A and B are shown apart, each in its own frame.
Chain A
Protein backbone atom coordinates (compact mmCIF):
# COMPACT_ATOMS: atom_id res chain seq x y z
CA UNK A 1 0.00 0.00 0.00
CA UNK A 2 2.84 2.34 0.91
CA UNK A 3 4.47 1.55 -2.34
CA UNK A 4 1.29 2.47 -4.18
CA UNK A 5 1.01 5.79 -2.33
CA UNK A 6 4.62 6.66 -3.02
CA UNK A 7 4.18 5.86 -6.69
CA UNK A 8 0.95 7.82 -6.80
CA UNK A 9 2.51 10.91 -5.24
CA UNK A 10 5.56 10.73 -7.46
CA UNK A 11 3.29 10.21 -10.43
CA UNK A 12 1.28 13.31 -9.61
CA UNK A 13 4.49 15.32 -9.27
CA UNK A 14 5.86 14.24 -12.63
CA UNK A 15 2.36 14.44 -14.05
CA UNK A 16 2.07 18.08 -13.05
CA UNK A 17 5.15 18.78 -15.16
CA UNK A 18 3.63 16.85 -18.07
CA UNK A 19 0.43 18.84 -17.60
CA UNK A 20 2.27 22.12 -17.95
CA UNK A 21 4.09 20.95 -21.02
CA UNK A 22 0.95 19.47 -22.60
CA UNK A 23 -0.93 22.67 -21.83
CA UNK A 24 1.57 24.77 -23.75
CA UNK A 25 1.58 22.28 -26.61
CA UNK A 26 -2.23 22.29 -26.83
CA UNK A 27 -2.43 26.05 -26.51
CA UNK A 28 -0.17 26.63 -29.49
CA UNK A 29 -2.02 24.01 -31.50
CA UNK A 30 -5.43 25.35 -30.55
CA UNK A 31 -4.82 28.87 -31.68
CA UNK A 32 -2.29 28.49 -34.49
CA UNK A 33 -2.96 24.94 -35.78
CA UNK A 34 0.75 24.20 -35.48
CA UNK A 35 1.93 20.99 -33.79
CA UNK A 36 5.08 22.29 -32.16
CA UNK A 37 7.58 19.46 -32.01
CA UNK A 38 10.15 21.80 -30.50
CA UNK A 39 8.11 22.09 -27.34
CA UNK A 40 10.23 19.52 -25.48
CA UNK A 41 13.32 21.48 -26.52
CA UNK A 42 11.89 24.61 -24.92
CA UNK A 43 11.70 22.63 -21.70
CA UNK A 44 15.22 21.27 -22.11
CA UNK A 45 16.48 24.78 -22.78
CA UNK A 46 14.85 25.82 -19.50
CA UNK A 47 16.64 23.02 -17.64
CA UNK A 48 20.02 23.91 -19.11
CA UNK A 49 19.56 27.60 -18.40
CA UNK A 50 18.69 26.57 -14.84
CA UNK A 51 22.11 24.89 -14.67
CA UNK A 52 23.77 28.18 -15.57
CA UNK A 53 21.60 30.34 -13.32
CA UNK A 54 21.36 28.08 -10.29
CA UNK A 55 24.67 26.21 -10.34
CA UNK A 56 27.17 28.44 -12.13
CA UNK A 57 25.84 31.79 -10.92
CA UNK A 58 24.22 30.53 -7.73
CA UNK A 59 21.15 32.74 -8.15
CA UNK A 60 17.88 32.42 -6.26
CA UNK A 61 15.58 29.88 -7.92
CA UNK A 62 12.50 32.12 -8.05
CA UNK A 63 14.34 35.01 -9.65
CA UNK A 64 15.92 32.54 -12.05
CA UNK A 65 12.53 31.09 -13.00
CA UNK A 66 11.25 34.56 -13.86
CA UNK A 67 14.30 35.46 -15.95
CA UNK A 68 14.43 32.11 -17.75
CA UNK A 69 10.69 32.23 -18.43
CA UNK A 70 11.08 35.72 -19.88
CA UNK A 71 13.98 34.60 -22.10
CA UNK A 72 12.19 31.54 -23.46
CA UNK A 73 8.97 33.53 -23.84
CA UNK A 74 10.92 35.94 -26.04
CA UNK A 75 12.21 32.95 -28.00
CA UNK A 76 8.66 31.66 -28.52
CA UNK A 77 7.35 35.03 -29.64
CA UNK A 78 10.42 35.44 -31.84
CA UNK A 79 9.78 32.07 -33.46
CA UNK A 80 6.24 33.17 -34.22
CA UNK A 81 7.18 36.45 -35.84
CA UNK A 82 10.40 35.27 -37.46
CA UNK A 83 9.50 31.80 -38.69
CA UNK A 84 5.84 30.88 -38.27
CA UNK A 85 4.23 34.08 -39.47
CA UNK A 86 5.82 33.99 -42.92
CA UNK A 87 4.70 30.35 -43.15
CA UNK A 88 1.00 31.10 -42.63
CA UNK A 89 -0.94 29.48 -45.42
CA UNK A 90 1.67 26.76 -46.00
CA UNK A 91 0.58 23.15 -45.58
CA UNK A 92 0.63 21.78 -42.03
CA UNK A 93 3.23 19.22 -43.03
CA UNK A 94 5.90 21.77 -43.91
CA UNK A 95 5.15 23.82 -40.81
CA UNK A 96 5.56 20.73 -38.62
CA UNK A 97 8.85 19.93 -40.33
CA UNK A 98 10.00 23.46 -39.56
CA UNK A 99 9.28 22.93 -35.86
CA UNK A 100 11.36 19.75 -35.98
CA UNK A 101 14.11 21.86 -37.54
CA UNK A 102 13.85 24.34 -34.66
CA UNK A 103 14.12 21.45 -32.22
CA UNK A 104 17.32 20.25 -33.88
CA UNK A 105 18.81 23.74 -33.81
CA UNK A 106 18.08 24.21 -30.09
CA UNK A 107 19.55 20.78 -29.40
CA UNK A 108 22.68 21.56 -31.39
CA UNK A 109 23.04 24.92 -29.68
CA UNK A 110 22.91 23.28 -26.26
CA UNK A 111 25.45 20.68 -27.37
CA UNK A 112 27.82 23.42 -28.52
CA UNK A 113 27.47 25.53 -25.39
CA UNK A 114 27.13 22.94 -22.66
CA UNK A 115 28.95 19.99 -24.19
CA UNK A 116 27.81 16.39 -24.42
CA UNK A 117 28.48 15.40 -20.82
CA UNK A 118 25.47 14.72 -18.64
CA UNK A 119 25.08 16.68 -15.42
CA UNK A 120 23.54 15.66 -12.14
CA UNK A 121 20.28 17.23 -11.08
CA UNK A 122 20.41 20.60 -9.34
CA UNK A 123 20.57 20.09 -5.60
CA UNK A 124 21.50 23.50 -4.21
CA UNK A 125 18.36 25.45 -5.11
CA UNK A 126 15.62 23.66 -3.20
CA UNK A 127 15.66 21.96 0.23
CA UNK A 128 16.71 18.35 -0.14
CA UNK A 129 14.94 17.08 2.98
CA UNK A 130 11.38 15.80 3.06
CA UNK A 131 8.40 15.26 5.29
CA UNK A 132 5.98 12.45 6.00
CA UNK A 133 2.38 12.27 4.90
CA UNK A 134 0.63 9.34 6.59
CA UNK A 135 3.89 7.48 6.80
CA UNK A 136 4.82 8.15 3.21
CA UNK A 137 7.94 10.26 2.76
CA UNK A 138 7.51 13.24 0.42
CA UNK A 139 10.62 15.18 -0.64
CA UNK A 140 10.24 18.95 -0.53
CA UNK A 141 11.43 19.07 -4.13
CA UNK A 142 8.41 17.08 -5.26
CA UNK A 143 6.05 19.14 -3.18
CA UNK A 144 7.38 22.47 -4.44
CA UNK A 145 7.40 21.24 -8.02
CA UNK A 146 3.76 20.19 -7.77
CA UNK A 147 2.64 23.41 -6.09
CA UNK A 148 4.44 25.67 -8.55
CA UNK A 149 3.11 23.70 -11.49
CA UNK A 150 -0.41 23.82 -10.08
CA UNK A 151 -0.12 27.56 -9.46
CA UNK A 152 1.17 28.18 -12.99
CA UNK A 153 -1.72 26.24 -14.47
CA UNK A 154 -4.19 28.08 -12.23
CA UNK A 155 -2.82 31.49 -13.18
CA UNK A 156 -3.02 30.50 -16.81
CA UNK A 157 -6.63 29.33 -16.48
CA UNK A 158 -7.65 32.58 -14.78
CA UNK A 159 -5.90 34.53 -17.51
CA UNK A 160 -7.62 32.41 -20.16
CA UNK A 161 -11.09 32.85 -18.63
CA UNK A 162 -11.01 36.37 -17.25
CA UNK A 163 -8.90 38.63 -19.41
CA UNK A 164 -9.54 40.29 -22.72
CA UNK A 165 -6.63 38.63 -24.44
CA UNK A 166 -7.70 35.28 -22.97
CA UNK A 167 -11.15 35.79 -24.49
CA UNK A 168 -9.50 36.68 -27.79
CA UNK A 169 -7.43 33.51 -27.67
CA UNK A 170 -10.50 31.36 -27.12
CA UNK A 171 -12.35 33.18 -29.88
CA UNK A 172 -9.52 32.80 -32.39
CA UNK A 173 -9.32 29.09 -31.59
CA UNK A 174 -13.03 28.75 -32.36
CA UNK A 175 -13.32 30.89 -35.45
CA UNK A 176 -10.37 32.83 -36.73
CA UNK A 177 -12.29 34.70 -39.40
CA UNK A 178 -15.05 35.85 -37.06
CA UNK A 179 -12.50 37.00 -34.51
CA UNK A 180 -10.68 38.96 -37.20
CA UNK A 181 -13.99 40.43 -38.35
CA UNK A 182 -14.46 41.79 -34.84
CA UNK A 183 -11.11 43.55 -35.03
CA UNK A 184 -8.94 41.01 -33.23
CA UNK A 185 -5.44 40.80 -34.66
CA UNK A 186 -4.75 37.08 -35.19
CA UNK A 187 -1.05 37.78 -35.14
CA UNK A 188 -0.93 39.15 -31.63
CA UNK A 189 -3.07 36.25 -30.43
CA UNK A 190 -0.74 33.73 -32.11
CA UNK A 191 2.28 35.45 -30.60
CA UNK A 192 0.67 35.39 -27.14
CA UNK A 193 -0.03 31.67 -27.48
CA UNK A 194 3.57 30.97 -28.44
CA UNK A 195 4.77 33.13 -25.58
CA UNK A 196 2.59 31.46 -22.96
CA UNK A 197 3.35 27.97 -24.29
CA UNK A 198 7.06 28.75 -24.08
CA UNK A 199 6.73 30.11 -20.54
CA UNK A 200 4.95 26.94 -19.43
CA UNK A 201 7.70 24.79 -20.91
CA UNK A 202 10.43 26.99 -19.42
CA UNK A 203 9.01 26.92 -15.88
CA UNK A 204 8.51 23.17 -16.16
CA UNK A 205 12.12 22.85 -17.37
CA UNK A 206 13.59 24.77 -14.45
CA UNK A 207 11.54 22.76 -11.96
CA UNK A 208 12.36 19.48 -13.61
CA UNK A 209 16.08 20.24 -13.45
CA UNK A 210 15.74 19.88 -9.67
CA UNK A 211 14.11 16.49 -10.01
CA UNK A 212 15.40 14.69 -13.09
CA UNK A 213 17.90 11.88 -12.46
CA UNK A 214 20.33 13.56 -14.86
CA UNK A 215 20.31 16.59 -17.12
CA UNK A 216 21.35 15.69 -20.62
CA UNK A 217 20.17 16.12 -24.19
CA UNK A 218 17.50 13.43 -23.75
CA UNK A 219 15.50 15.69 -21.50
CA UNK A 220 13.41 16.86 -24.42
CA UNK A 221 11.79 13.43 -24.42
CA UNK A 222 9.44 14.93 -21.85
CA UNK A 223 8.00 16.88 -24.73
CA UNK A 224 7.21 13.55 -26.35
CA UNK A 225 5.47 12.42 -23.18
CA UNK A 226 3.32 15.50 -23.25
CA UNK A 227 2.11 14.29 -26.62
CA UNK A 228 0.13 11.30 -25.28
CA UNK A 229 -1.02 13.57 -22.43
CA UNK A 230 -2.40 16.04 -24.95
CA UNK A 231 -3.84 13.33 -27.18
CA UNK A 232 -5.58 11.58 -24.29
CA UNK A 233 -7.24 14.80 -23.21
CA UNK A 234 -8.04 15.82 -26.75
CA UNK A 235 -5.70 18.00 -28.76
CA UNK A 236 -7.98 21.00 -28.58
CA UNK A 237 -8.91 20.82 -24.93
CA UNK A 238 -6.96 22.81 -22.36
CA UNK A 239 -8.62 21.07 -19.42
CA UNK A 240 -8.01 17.71 -21.08
CA UNK A 241 -4.31 18.45 -21.44
CA UNK A 242 -3.99 19.15 -17.72
CA UNK A 243 -5.81 15.98 -16.75
CA UNK A 244 -4.03 13.97 -19.44
CA UNK A 245 -0.67 15.05 -18.04
CA UNK A 246 -1.57 13.84 -14.55
CA UNK A 247 -2.94 10.55 -15.89
CA UNK A 248 0.19 9.85 -17.91
CA UNK A 249 2.43 10.76 -14.96
CA UNK A 250 0.65 8.47 -12.52
CA UNK A 251 0.33 5.55 -14.94
CA UNK A 252 4.00 5.79 -15.83
CA UNK A 253 5.08 5.62 -12.23
CA UNK A 254 2.73 2.72 -11.49
CA UNK A 255 4.00 0.84 -14.52
CA UNK A 256 7.61 1.54 -13.56
CA UNK A 257 6.99 0.47 -9.97
CA UNK A 258 4.98 -2.67 -10.54
CA UNK A 259 6.08 -3.93 -13.95
CA UNK A 260 9.51 -2.47 -14.60
CA UNK A 261 11.09 0.87 -15.41
CA UNK A 262 11.40 0.04 -19.09
CA UNK A 263 7.59 -0.10 -19.43
CA UNK A 264 7.07 3.58 -18.66
CA UNK A 265 6.80 4.77 -22.23
CA UNK A 266 4.98 1.66 -23.35
CA UNK A 267 2.18 2.41 -20.92
CA UNK A 268 1.92 6.09 -21.80
CA UNK A 269 1.83 5.55 -25.54
CA UNK A 270 -0.20 2.35 -25.20
CA UNK A 271 -2.87 4.32 -23.38
CA UNK A 272 -2.73 6.95 -26.11
CA UNK A 273 -3.39 4.34 -28.78
CA UNK A 274 -6.27 2.84 -26.86
CA UNK A 275 -7.85 6.24 -26.25
CA UNK A 276 -7.42 7.21 -29.87
CA UNK A 277 -9.06 3.98 -30.99
CA UNK A 278 -12.06 4.45 -28.71
CA UNK A 279 -12.36 8.21 -28.96
CA UNK A 280 -10.29 9.48 -31.89
CA UNK A 281 -10.64 13.07 -30.69
CA UNK A 282 -9.56 12.41 -27.10
CA UNK A 283 -11.62 12.41 -23.92
CA UNK A 284 -12.45 16.09 -23.92
CA UNK A 285 -11.75 17.06 -27.50
CA UNK A 286 -14.41 18.20 -29.88
CA UNK A 287 -15.18 15.82 -32.65
CA UNK A 288 -14.57 18.46 -35.24
CA UNK A 289 -11.05 19.68 -34.72
CA UNK A 290 -10.78 21.09 -38.21
CA UNK A 291 -11.92 24.67 -38.45
CA UNK A 292 -14.86 25.32 -40.70
Chain B
Protein backbone atom coordinates (compact mmCIF):
# COMPACT_ATOMS: atom_id res chain seq x y z
CA UNK B 1 0.00 0.00 0.00
CA UNK B 2 1.34 3.38 -0.98
CA UNK B 3 2.10 5.76 1.84
CA UNK B 4 0.29 9.02 1.17
CA UNK B 5 2.46 12.07 0.82
CA UNK B 6 1.50 14.43 3.60
CA UNK B 7 1.64 18.16 3.52
CA UNK B 8 1.49 18.42 7.31
CA UNK B 9 1.51 16.24 10.40
CA UNK B 10 -1.28 13.68 10.64
CA UNK B 11 -4.22 14.36 12.98
CA UNK B 12 -5.42 10.82 12.80
CA UNK B 13 -3.43 7.71 12.08
CA UNK B 14 -5.09 4.33 11.97
CA UNK B 15 -2.59 1.50 11.77
CA UNK B 16 -3.38 -2.15 11.04
CA UNK B 17 -6.68 -1.90 12.84
CA UNK B 18 -8.43 -5.18 13.49
CA UNK B 19 -11.92 -5.15 15.02
CA UNK B 20 -14.07 -8.09 16.07
CA UNK B 21 -17.68 -8.23 17.20
CA UNK B 22 -18.74 -10.58 19.99
CA UNK B 23 -15.28 -12.14 19.87
CA UNK B 24 -16.27 -13.90 16.68
CA UNK B 25 -17.06 -11.73 13.68
CA UNK B 26 -14.10 -9.96 12.16
CA UNK B 27 -15.23 -6.61 10.78
CA UNK B 28 -11.92 -4.91 10.05
CA UNK B 29 -8.82 -6.85 8.97
CA UNK B 30 -5.83 -4.57 9.27
CA UNK B 31 -7.03 -1.18 8.09
CA UNK B 32 -4.54 1.67 7.90
CA UNK B 33 -5.30 5.24 6.99
CA UNK B 34 -4.13 8.75 7.68
CA UNK B 35 -5.84 12.11 7.90
CA UNK B 36 -3.51 15.09 7.74
CA UNK B 37 -4.20 18.32 9.59
CA UNK B 38 -6.77 20.32 7.68
CA UNK B 39 -7.35 17.59 5.11
CA UNK B 40 -10.61 16.13 3.81
CA UNK B 41 -10.30 12.36 3.43
CA UNK B 42 -12.92 10.01 2.02
CA UNK B 43 -13.47 6.37 2.90
CA UNK B 44 -15.60 4.62 0.31
CA UNK B 45 -17.13 1.21 0.38
CA UNK B 46 -20.28 -0.86 -0.04
CA UNK B 47 -22.62 -2.04 2.72
CA UNK B 48 -20.79 -4.32 5.09
CA UNK B 49 -17.36 -3.13 4.01
CA UNK B 50 -16.64 -2.03 7.57
CA UNK B 51 -17.05 1.72 7.22
CA UNK B 52 -19.28 2.22 10.23
CA UNK B 53 -17.16 -0.16 12.29
CA UNK B 54 -14.21 2.08 11.48
CA UNK B 55 -16.14 5.10 12.76
CA UNK B 56 -17.17 3.25 15.92
CA UNK B 57 -13.58 2.22 16.58
CA UNK B 58 -12.25 5.77 16.16
CA UNK B 59 -14.96 7.32 18.35
CA UNK B 60 -14.91 4.68 21.10
CA UNK B 61 -18.40 3.34 20.42
CA UNK B 62 -17.54 -0.30 19.83
CA UNK B 63 -18.65 -1.18 23.36
CA UNK B 64 -22.27 -0.41 22.46
CA UNK B 65 -22.20 -3.21 19.90
CA UNK B 66 -20.06 -5.63 21.85
CA UNK B 67 -17.11 -5.00 19.58
CA UNK B 68 -13.43 -4.70 20.46
CA UNK B 69 -10.15 -3.66 18.91
CA UNK B 70 -8.07 -6.80 18.61
CA UNK B 71 -4.99 -5.40 17.00
CA UNK B 72 -3.51 -2.21 15.67
CA UNK B 73 -3.68 1.36 16.89
CA UNK B 74 -5.68 4.54 16.43
CA UNK B 75 -3.51 7.56 17.08
CA UNK B 76 -4.82 11.10 17.47
CA UNK B 77 -1.76 13.33 17.21
CA UNK B 78 0.24 10.42 18.59
CA UNK B 79 -2.17 9.67 21.46
CA UNK B 80 -3.79 6.23 21.46
CA UNK B 81 -7.60 6.54 21.23
CA UNK B 82 -8.12 2.79 21.47
CA UNK B 83 -8.37 2.70 25.24
CA UNK B 84 -10.19 5.98 25.75
CA UNK B 85 -13.85 6.50 26.61
CA UNK B 86 -16.13 8.35 24.21
CA UNK B 87 -16.07 11.36 26.52
CA UNK B 88 -12.28 11.53 26.42
CA UNK B 89 -12.25 11.19 22.65
CA UNK B 90 -14.88 13.91 22.12
CA UNK B 91 -13.10 16.28 24.48
CA UNK B 92 -9.93 15.77 22.43
CA UNK B 93 -11.73 17.20 19.43
CA UNK B 94 -13.05 14.19 17.54
CA UNK B 95 -16.79 14.22 16.94
CA UNK B 96 -19.05 12.44 14.50
CA UNK B 97 -22.21 12.88 12.51
CA UNK B 98 -23.48 9.34 12.97
CA UNK B 99 -24.99 7.18 10.27
CA UNK B 100 -28.75 7.62 10.14
CA UNK B 101 -28.39 10.93 12.00
CA UNK B 102 -29.30 9.43 15.40
CA UNK B 103 -31.01 12.49 16.78
CA UNK B 104 -32.93 12.50 20.04
CA UNK B 105 -36.43 12.64 18.56
CA UNK B 106 -38.40 14.01 21.50
CA UNK B 107 -35.78 16.59 22.45
CA UNK B 108 -36.04 20.03 20.88
CA UNK B 109 -33.67 21.19 18.17
CA UNK B 110 -31.84 23.34 20.68
CA UNK B 111 -31.54 20.51 23.20
CA UNK B 112 -30.21 18.26 20.46
CA UNK B 113 -27.58 20.84 19.58
CA UNK B 114 -26.70 21.31 23.24
CA UNK B 115 -26.06 17.57 23.51
CA UNK B 116 -23.01 18.20 21.33
CA UNK B 117 -21.49 20.41 24.00
CA UNK B 118 -21.61 17.91 26.86
CA UNK B 119 -17.85 17.64 27.17
CA UNK B 120 -17.44 21.43 27.36
CA UNK B 121 -17.68 23.67 30.41
CA UNK B 122 -17.45 27.16 28.88
CA UNK B 123 -21.02 28.45 29.04
CA UNK B 124 -20.32 31.63 27.10
CA UNK B 125 -18.55 29.74 24.34
CA UNK B 126 -21.40 27.23 24.11
CA UNK B 127 -24.11 29.85 23.61
CA UNK B 128 -21.85 31.66 21.15
CA UNK B 129 -21.42 28.46 19.14
CA UNK B 130 -25.16 27.84 19.30
CA UNK B 131 -25.76 31.21 17.64
CA UNK B 132 -23.14 30.33 15.05
CA UNK B 133 -24.96 27.10 14.18
CA UNK B 134 -28.18 29.12 13.75
CA UNK B 135 -26.29 31.42 11.39
CA UNK B 136 -24.97 28.48 9.40
CA UNK B 137 -28.43 26.87 9.26
CA UNK B 138 -31.04 29.65 9.65
CA UNK B 139 -33.90 27.16 9.38
CA UNK B 140 -32.77 25.54 12.64
CA UNK B 141 -32.98 28.89 14.38
CA UNK B 142 -36.63 29.15 13.39
CA UNK B 143 -37.30 25.67 14.72
CA UNK B 144 -35.19 25.69 17.85
CA UNK B 145 -38.13 24.91 20.13
CA UNK B 146 -39.57 22.16 17.93
CA UNK B 147 -39.05 18.50 18.68
CA UNK B 148 -36.48 17.02 16.34
CA UNK B 149 -38.86 14.26 15.25
CA UNK B 150 -40.96 16.73 13.25
CA UNK B 151 -38.11 17.98 11.09
CA UNK B 152 -37.58 16.90 7.50
CA UNK B 153 -34.70 14.56 6.69
CA UNK B 154 -32.51 17.39 5.48
CA UNK B 155 -33.18 19.52 8.54
CA UNK B 156 -32.46 16.55 10.76
CA UNK B 157 -29.12 16.06 9.07
CA UNK B 158 -28.39 19.76 9.65
CA UNK B 159 -29.12 19.24 13.35
CA UNK B 160 -26.79 16.23 13.37
CA UNK B 161 -24.00 18.25 11.76
CA UNK B 162 -24.68 21.22 14.06
CA UNK B 163 -24.68 18.94 17.09
CA UNK B 164 -21.27 17.56 16.15
CA UNK B 165 -19.91 21.06 15.54
CA UNK B 166 -21.07 22.08 19.02
CA UNK B 167 -18.28 19.91 20.39
CA UNK B 168 -15.77 22.22 18.63
CA UNK B 169 -14.14 19.31 16.86
CA UNK B 170 -10.77 19.48 15.16
CA UNK B 171 -11.63 16.29 13.30
CA UNK B 172 -15.19 15.77 12.10
CA UNK B 173 -16.26 12.30 11.03
CA UNK B 174 -19.32 12.18 8.78
CA UNK B 175 -20.84 8.71 8.41
CA UNK B 176 -23.05 8.54 5.31
CA UNK B 177 -23.89 12.21 5.32
CA UNK B 178 -25.62 12.00 1.95
CA UNK B 179 -27.74 8.92 2.62
CA UNK B 180 -31.41 9.38 1.81
CA UNK B 181 -31.21 13.12 1.21
CA UNK B 182 -32.13 15.23 -1.80
CA UNK B 183 -29.09 16.08 -3.97
CA UNK B 184 -29.51 19.77 -3.33
CA UNK B 185 -29.34 19.35 0.45
CA UNK B 186 -26.37 17.02 0.13
CA UNK B 187 -24.63 19.71 -1.88
CA UNK B 188 -25.43 22.38 0.73
CA UNK B 189 -24.04 20.22 3.52
CA UNK B 190 -20.88 19.34 1.62
CA UNK B 191 -20.34 23.00 0.73
CA UNK B 192 -20.68 23.84 4.40
CA UNK B 193 -18.05 21.25 5.34
CA UNK B 194 -15.75 22.51 2.59
CA UNK B 195 -16.11 26.02 3.98
CA UNK B 196 -15.36 24.95 7.55
CA UNK B 197 -12.38 23.05 6.20
CA UNK B 198 -11.11 26.07 4.28
CA UNK B 199 -11.78 28.74 6.86
CA UNK B 200 -11.25 26.99 10.18
CA UNK B 201 -8.88 24.27 9.06
CA UNK B 202 -11.30 21.55 10.24
CA UNK B 203 -10.10 18.09 9.26
CA UNK B 204 -12.90 15.94 7.85
CA UNK B 205 -13.21 12.20 7.41
CA UNK B 206 -16.02 11.43 4.98
CA UNK B 207 -17.40 7.92 5.19
CA UNK B 208 -19.49 7.57 2.05
CA UNK B 209 -21.33 5.36 -0.38
CA UNK B 210 -21.81 8.35 -2.63
CA UNK B 211 -18.37 8.10 -4.18
CA UNK B 212 -18.86 10.81 -6.77
CA UNK B 213 -19.73 13.43 -4.16
CA UNK B 214 -17.06 12.34 -1.70
CA UNK B 215 -14.25 12.33 -4.25
CA UNK B 216 -15.24 15.78 -5.40
CA UNK B 217 -14.63 17.26 -1.96
CA UNK B 218 -11.92 15.01 -0.57
CA UNK B 219 -8.22 15.38 -1.24
CA UNK B 220 -7.47 11.74 -0.61
CA UNK B 221 -9.53 8.58 -0.67
CA UNK B 222 -9.49 5.03 0.63
CA UNK B 223 -11.62 2.21 -0.70
CA UNK B 224 -12.73 -0.36 1.81
CA UNK B 225 -13.93 -3.82 0.88
CA UNK B 226 -14.84 -6.55 3.38
CA UNK B 227 -12.76 -5.00 6.10
CA UNK B 228 -9.66 -4.21 4.07
CA UNK B 229 -8.35 -1.14 2.29
CA UNK B 230 -8.14 -2.36 -1.31
CA UNK B 231 -7.15 0.90 -2.91
CA UNK B 232 -6.07 4.36 -1.87
CA UNK B 233 -4.76 7.48 -3.50
CA UNK B 234 -5.33 11.16 -4.14
CA UNK B 235 -8.93 11.85 -5.10
CA UNK B 236 -8.31 12.82 -8.75
CA UNK B 237 -6.32 9.64 -9.25
CA UNK B 238 -9.14 7.54 -7.78
CA UNK B 239 -11.68 9.28 -9.98
CA UNK B 240 -9.65 8.32 -13.05
CA UNK B 241 -9.06 4.76 -11.94
CA UNK B 242 -10.91 2.33 -14.19
CA UNK B 243 -12.07 -0.05 -11.46
CA UNK B 244 -13.31 2.78 -9.33
CA UNK B 245 -15.17 4.20 -12.29
CA UNK B 246 -16.78 0.91 -13.02
CA UNK B 247 -17.74 -0.12 -9.50
CA UNK B 248 -18.09 3.13 -7.66
CA UNK B 249 -18.85 5.86 -10.14
CA UNK B 250 -20.98 3.97 -12.61
CA UNK B 251 -18.95 4.99 -15.61
CA UNK B 252 -17.87 1.57 -16.88
CA UNK B 253 -18.35 0.78 -20.55
CA UNK B 254 -18.70 -3.00 -20.44
CA UNK B 255 -21.67 -4.13 -22.48
CA UNK B 256 -22.25 -7.83 -22.37
CA UNK B 257 -24.94 -10.22 -21.36
CA UNK B 258 -22.88 -12.70 -19.38
CA UNK B 259 -23.83 -13.50 -15.81
CA UNK B 260 -20.75 -11.79 -14.44
CA UNK B 261 -21.74 -8.64 -16.25
CA UNK B 262 -25.13 -8.73 -14.62
CA UNK B 263 -23.45 -9.14 -11.29
CA UNK B 264 -21.28 -6.18 -12.10
CA UNK B 265 -24.30 -4.21 -13.09
CA UNK B 266 -26.08 -4.97 -9.88
CA UNK B 267 -23.07 -4.03 -7.90
CA UNK B 268 -22.70 -0.84 -9.85
CA UNK B 269 -26.32 0.06 -9.38
CA UNK B 270 -25.88 0.40 -5.69
CA UNK B 271 -23.48 3.22 -6.31
CA UNK B 272 -25.72 5.23 -8.55
CA UNK B 273 -27.42 7.06 -5.77
Chain A residues with a Cβ under 8 A of chain B = 89, 164, 167-168, 170-171, 174-185, 286
A171-B104, A183-B119 known; A178 vs B98 contact (CB < 8 Å):
yes
**Digit string of B88-108 for contact with A (CB within 8 Å is 1, else 0)?**
011100011010001111110
**Digit string of B161-186 for contact with A (CB within 8 Å is 1, else 0)?**
00100010000000000000000000
> Would you call B64 and A184 a contact (CB within 8 A)?
no
Chain B residues, Cβ within 8 Å of A171: 104, 107, 111, 115
> Would you call B115 and A167 a contact (CB within 8 A)?
yes
Neighbour of B64 across the interface among A174, A180, A183, CB < 8 A: A180
Q: Which 7 A-B pairs have the closest CB atoms?
A: A183-B90, A178-B102, A183-B119, A174-B104, A183-B87, A180-B86, A177-B64
Q: Which of B114-150 contact A (CB under 8 A)?
A: 114-116, 118-119
Could you give 18 example pairs across A and B, Cβ below 8 Å?
A89-B66, A164-B118, A168-B118, A171-B115, A177-B64, A178-B104, A180-B64, A181-B96, A181-B98, A181-B102, A182-B115, A182-B119, A183-B90, A183-B118, A184-B86, A184-B118, A185-B85, A286-B106
Q: Which residue of A lies closest to B164 (CB)?
A: A182
Q: Which residue of A lies closest to B22 (CB)?
A: A89
A176 to B91, CA, bound (A): 18
Q: How many whole Å from A136's CB to the nearest CB in chain B? A: 40
Chain B residues, Cβ within 8 Å of A168: 115, 118
B219 contacts partner chain A, Cβ-Cβ < 8 Å = no
**Digit string of B24-68 for contact with A (CB within 8 Å is 1, else 0)?**
000000000000000000000000000000000001110010100
> Would you call A178 and B89 a contact (CB within 8 A)?
no
Classify chain B: how many residues form its interface, as a range: 20 to 34
Chain B residues with a Cβ under 8 A of chain A = 59-61, 64, 66, 85-87, 89-91, 95-96, 98, 102-107, 111, 114-116, 118-119, 163, 167
> Would you call A174 and B106 a contact (CB within 8 A)?
yes
> Would you call A183 and B107 a contact (CB within 8 A)?
no
Q: How many whole Å from A183's CB to the nearest CB in chain B? A: 3
A167-B114, A171-B115 known; A181 vs B86 contact (CB < 8 Å):
yes
A179 to B95, CA, bound (A): 12
A228 to B61, CA, bound (A): 36
A171 to B167, CA, bound (A): 16
**Residue among B64, B114, B167 with max Cβ neighbours from chain A (10 Å):** B64
Q: How many whole Å from A192's CB to the nearest CB in chain B? A: 14
> Would you call A177 and B102 a contact (CB within 8 A)?
yes
Q: Which residue of A lies closest to B166 (CB)?
A: A182
Chain B residues, Cβ within 8 Å of A176: 64
Chain A residues, Cβ within 8 Å of B66: 89
Known: A170-B106, A176-B64; 15 extra A-B contacts, CB below 8 A, are A89-B66, A167-B114, A168-B118, A171-B107, A174-B106, A180-B64, A180-B86, A181-B59, A181-B98, A181-B102, A182-B167, A183-B87, A183-B119, A183-B167, A185-B87
> Would you call A180 and B104 a contact (CB within 8 A)?
no
Q: How many whole Å from B62's CB to the nearest CB in chain A? A: 11
Neighbour of B90 across the interface among A89, A167, A175, A182, CB < 8 A: A182
A272 to B64, CA, bound (A): 34
A171 to B107, CA, bound (A): 8
Q: How many whole Å from B55's CB to the nearest CB in chain A? A: 9
Neighbour of A175 across the interface among B86, B95, B102, B118, CB < 8 A: B102
Chain B residues, Cβ within 8 Å of A164: 118
Q: Which residue of A lies closest to B120 (CB)?
A: A183
A255 to B169, CA, bound (A): 60
Chain A residues, Cβ within 8 Å of B96: 181
A178 to B167, CA, bound (A): 13
**Residue among B59, B66, B86, B90 with max Cβ neighbours from chain A (10 Å):** B86
> Would you call A175 and B104 a contact (CB within 8 A)?
yes
A181 to B20, CA, bound (A): 20
Q: How many whole Å from A204's CB to the nearest CB in chain B? A: 27
Q: How many whole Å from B115's CB to the nearest CB in chain A? A: 5
A168 to B60, CA, bound (A): 18
> Would you call A170 and B104 a contact (CB within 8 A)?
yes
> Would you call A174 and B105 a contact (CB within 8 A)?
yes
> Would you call B106 and A167 a contact (CB within 8 A)?
no
